Amino acid sequence: GENVEQHPSTLSVQEGDSAVIKCTYSDSASNYFPWYKQELGKRPQLIIDIRSNVGEKKDQRIAVTLNKTAKHFSLHITETQPEDSAVYFCAARDNYGQNFVFGPGTRLSVLP
């Protein structure tokens, strides 16, 4: 089955700096890669996603890049703000289409 790794496990940045989180996946048939943000005690919220037919997607300060050959994808947050502090999970959807496999998460702290 699919296996998703995520790095780093914790990340601290100064407000205004950029943050990058990287994930790798094992199943070359996976074709959908969402990123979720989860604040303490809250539900995971989808912040951006990318499909395997696209190499990059951007939404304001957030962007995701996908390298299918290397089987890795990355989340880029620019001009970070304290409210960006949360745990971020990447995920990969297997070819069956229903099973999301999540990465272990990255705790991002944006220091004012």
Q: Which residues form the interface with other proteins (CB under 8 A)?
A: 32, 34, 36, 42-46, 49, 51, 89, 93, 97-105
Q: What are the CA-CA distances from residue 20 to residues 16, 29, 36, 38 (Å)?
A: 13, 25, 14, 17
**Cβ-contact 47, 36 below 8 angstroms:** yes
- How near is the Cβ of 12 to other proteins at its closest, in Å? 17
- How near is the Cβ of 14 to other proteins at its closest, in Å? 24
What's the CA gap between 59 and 6, in Å, rounded?
A: 21
* Cβ neighbourhood burial of 67 (10 Å; 0-12, 13-18, 19+): exposed
- Identity of the residue, 72 or 102, whose beta carbon is nearer to other proteins in the bound complex: 102
- How near is the Cβ of 6 to other proteins at its closest, in Å? 9
- Identity of the residue, 10 or 81, whose beta carbon is nearer to other proteins in the bound complex: 10
Cα(first)–Cα(last) distance of the chain, in Å?
41
- Identity of the residue, 46 or 111, whose beta carbon is nearer to other proteins in the bound complex: 46
- Identity of the residue, 18 or 26, whose beta carbon is nearer to other proteins in the bound complex: 26
- How near is the Cβ of 79 to other proteins at its closest, in Å? 26
User: DSSP secondary-structure letter at 42?
Assistant: S
